[in-house]
């Protein structure tokens, strides 16, 4: 559910009110010069402030917290935070800086007992915690998220989360909060679309623009006037505009992964109606000449005043929308004019499916198995190719417990040595588990490594570092702060030896396996190289294949064998086709039933890319008990229509070539 909070001018939810779906907001700018006096939270985690610009004492509210005890002048949304009853909060408070007397908590503590007014640091292992100046959850609040917190550095590292006065805690409240992994929206603006060096990338709203644009991730709203006003143009990742004459832009933060569904009505949720799950180029063809309201059941939709997705646009998120009230309740989302609704398009961004292939033999040969989900117990393969995502392989043998291997899309790795000149990773263990990581690997990686626990000699890194010796930090790392992206630390130079995975946050060697289980061992003073993990955004595509069976070519040969080999296939693209070498897509392909009958398979994942490596897939059922087979070599011309973003399309042509056994 998307974040939503309602603030009221008067106590007890009375007087004028205002609904907010995102922060940060000064209430004086929202028409509340005197601030708010009561609040209702529908979803999300919100921080309320006594002063403007998100400053001063704080009050953290989640669903069910419908009362506030102080005036509110500004608020902000805790980005990507959701309340989850399955989260079990846990923290430890310390008398000094992570030493001295301590107490561990897994539930609300209205009184801290022997630790009352005696805490100088706190380690949050899970969930989030609110510390209160007085007992029974009274007085000033301080918000602590997962990580390490010291009173003397807290204000600098966590602005807007309250004050952490030394020895001034008397009660603690557990918050069952987790942070969802969401790819950050990103758009690149070019002064000259032909010169990359003239570009500037943005991840937040911006004013005063007149250039060309490439949407790298997320959905953005473009406005023809400054201050996010005027007519809008909705674009999503993959869209390219070379005639960009808009004055302000902002990202639309919303769950676009849902399958879209909406119902459009002739009147106010009555009269003629139609339920839609896909785009409609011309509503007159389904006899919807007039539209006065729309109910969005799931996903998001864009309407257009003219057919063929032209004219003024309006964006609709989940909920009920009427033409006569839309503008006031949905500012910045366009104008929903009564009976001016000629075509509609669904907004959906499906996350790229993680994919890894394990091979029985070295150098990616022999029998192979492809996986897209977590696997708990596997026999170690001889070689691995990661086609998409980031995967962690972890030993399940007790003697090698904690050994991991981190691989990112595009990696091709041998796990056994077959050539003394070839690099390989000695996994040692004969059994392992593996899982894809849900994380935003598109961020530009930045980290700081420290000689001691976040003090002493340090080094800032933003790129791969194959050898720490020239930088005088070899085998001297005790802690690391990952500011953005993700990093892998290696025991030896040139990315060899034992591995440790670091995601965003603060990490110390002394309790790393407690705070980050399954991410390897962080041994003190044992790092010699670091690899930055980053995946360049690849735009989601929809591909419509049209196979020309009338012009197929089939050659058949009789073979005698107890079992048929796996079918082989290739998408042989014509010159100039805009297709990458490795490109996996779910589609149907021609399957030979017999000499006179060719049908289409059920939809499955195929590598449709321009790859020179062997591609095989069993596309027909095994025929047990038969000692002779027909080998069919099939060639079928095809045309593929590619859809990228909301507005970008192109056509590619080629020949589907397949060897099948039946």
How much is the pLDDT for 580? 67
- And the tokens for 245? 């004459």
Q: Name the domain boundary from 489, 515, 533.
A: 533
What domain range is 502 assigned to? 446-533
How much is the pLDDT for 614? 46
How much is the pLDDT for 548? 92
Name the H helices within 421-473. none
Find all residues with CB under 8 Å of 526, minimum gap 6, and list them. Answer: 475, 477, 491, 498
Instruction: Encode pLDDT of 426-452 as tens digits.
Output: 766 678 899 999 888 888 899 999 999
Query: Are 308 and 336 in the same domain?
Result: yes
Question: What integer best gives the mean pLDDT of the chain?
Answer: 85
Query: Are 547 and 638 in the same domain?
Result: yes
The DSSP code sequence of 104-133 is: EESS-BS--GGGTT--SEEEEEESEEEEEE
- For residue 186, what are the β-bridge partners? 217
In-domain check, residue 441: no
Find all residues with CB under 8 Å of 77, minimum gap 6, and list them. Answer: 3, 20, 22, 23, 24, 44, 45, 46, 47
In-domain check, residue 97: yes
Query: Hey, CA dihedral for 101, 96, 89, 445, is it positive or negative?
Result: negative
Q: Is residue 180 within 8 Å of residue 96, measured between CB atoms?
A: no
- And the tokens for 353? 């499916």
Q: Name the domain boundary from 306, 322, 347.
A: 347
CB atoms near residue 461 (< 10 Å): 20
196 phi, psi to nearest 5 deg: -60, -35
Whether residue 581 has pLDDT greater than 80? no
Instruction: Encode pLDDT of 319-350 as tens digits.
Output: 899 998 888 778 889 989 888 889 999 998 87
- And the tokens for 185? 């929206």
CATH of the domain at 646: 2.170.15.10
- Alpha carbon 346 to its chain centroid, in Å, reads 20
In-domain check, residue 84: no
**Could you give the CA distance from residue 177 to residue 223 in angstroms, rounded to a whole number?**
35
In-domain check, residue 85: no
- And the tokens for 161? 């989360």
Query: Are 330 and 361 in the same domain?
Result: no
The DSSP output letter for 109 is B
Query: Are 392 and 431 in the same domain?
Result: yes
- For residue 488, what are the β-bridge partners? 501, 531
Query: Are 35 and 63 in the same domain?
Result: yes
Indicate the number of domains in the chain. Answer: 7
Query: Are 34 and 106 in the same domain?
Result: no
Regarding predicted confidence, which is higher, 207 or 222? 222
User: Model confidence at 365, in pLDDT bands (50, 70, 90)?
Assistant: confident
Q: Name the domain boundary from 330, 347, 364.
A: 347
């Amino acid at each position: 559910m998307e974040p939503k909070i309602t603030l009221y001018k008067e106590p007890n939810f009375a007087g004028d009110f205002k609904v907010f779906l995102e922060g940060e907001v000064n209430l004086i700018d929202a028409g509340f010069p005197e601030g708010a006096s009561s609040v209702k939270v529908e979803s999300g985690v919100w921080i309320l402030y006594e002063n403007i610009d998100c400053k001063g004492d704080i009050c953290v509210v989640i669903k069910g917290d419908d009362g506030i005890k102080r005036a509110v002048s500004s608020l902000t949304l805790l980005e990507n935070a959701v309340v989850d009853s399955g989260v079990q909060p846990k923290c430890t408070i310390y008398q000094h800086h992570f030493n001295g007397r301590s107490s561990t908590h897994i539930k609300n503590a209205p009184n801290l007992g022997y630790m009352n007014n005696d805490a100088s640091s706190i380690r949050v292992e899970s969930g989030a915690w609110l510390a209160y100046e007085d007992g029974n959850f009274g007085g000033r609040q301080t918000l602590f998220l997962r990580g390490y917190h010291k009173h003397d550095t807290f204000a600098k590292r966590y602005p807007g989360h309250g004050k952490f006065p030394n020895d001034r805690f008397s009660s603690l409240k557990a918050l069952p909060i987790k942070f969802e992994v969401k790819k950050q929206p990103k758009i690149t603006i070019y002064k000259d679309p032909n010169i990359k060096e003239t570009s500037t990338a943005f991840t937040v709203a911006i004013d005063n623009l007149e250039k060309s644009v490439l949407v790298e991730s997320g959905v953005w709203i473009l406005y023809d006037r400054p201050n996010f006003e005027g007519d809008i143009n909705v674009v999503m990742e993959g869209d390219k505009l070379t005639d960009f004459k808009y004055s302000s832009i902002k990202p639309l933060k919303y769950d676009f992964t849902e399958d879209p569904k909406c119902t459009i009505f002739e009147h106010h949720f009555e009269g003629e109606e139609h339920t839609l799950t896909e785009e409609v180029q011309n509503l007159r063809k389904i006899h919807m000449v007039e539209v006065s309201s729309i109910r969005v059941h799931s996903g998001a939709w864009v309407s257009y005043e003219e057919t063929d997705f032209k004219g003024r646009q309006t964006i609709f998120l989940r909920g009920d929308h009427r033409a006569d009230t839309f503008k006031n309740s949905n500012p910045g989302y366009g104008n929903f004019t009564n009976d001016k609704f000629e075509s509609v398009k669904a907004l959906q961004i499906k996350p790229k499916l993680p994919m890894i292939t394990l091979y029985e033999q070295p150098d990616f040969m022999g029998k192979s198995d492809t996986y897209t989900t977590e696997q708990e117990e596997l026999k170690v393969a001889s070689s691995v190719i990661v086609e998409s995502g980031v995967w962690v392989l972890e030993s399940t043998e007790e003697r090698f417990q904690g050994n991991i291997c981190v691989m990112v899309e595009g990696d091709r790795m041998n796990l056994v040595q077959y050539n003394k000149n070839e690099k390989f990773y000695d996994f040692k263990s004969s059994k392992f588990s593996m899982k894809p990581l849900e994380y935003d690997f598109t961020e530009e990686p930045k980290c700081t490594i420290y000689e001691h626990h976040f003090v002493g000699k340090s080094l800032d890194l933003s790129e791969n570092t194959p050898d720490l010796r020239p930088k005088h930090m070899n085998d001297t790392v005790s802690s690391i702060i990952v500011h953005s992206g993700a990093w892998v630390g290696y025991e030896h130079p040139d990315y060899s030896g034992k591995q440790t995975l670091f995601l965003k946050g603060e990490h110390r060697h002394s309790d790393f396996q407690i705070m980050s289980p399954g991410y390897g061992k962080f041994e003190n003073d044992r790092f010699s190289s670091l690899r930055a993990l980053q995946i360049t955004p690849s735009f989601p595509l929809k591909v419509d294949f049209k196979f020309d069976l009338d012009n197929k070519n089939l050659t058949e040969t009789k073979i005698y064998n107890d079992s048929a080999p796996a079918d082989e296939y290739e998408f042989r693209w014509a010159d100039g086709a805009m297709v990458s070498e490795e490109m996996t897509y779910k589609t149907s392909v021609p399957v030979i039933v017999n000499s006179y009958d060719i049908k289409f398979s059920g939809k499955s994942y195929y590598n449709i890319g321009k790859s020179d490596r062997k591609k095989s897939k069993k596309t027909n059922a095994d025929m047990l008990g038969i000692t002779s087979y027909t080998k069919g070599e099939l060639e079928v011309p095809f045309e593929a229509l590619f859809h990228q973003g909301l507005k970008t399309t192109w056509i590619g042509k080629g020949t589907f070539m397949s060897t099948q056994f039946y």
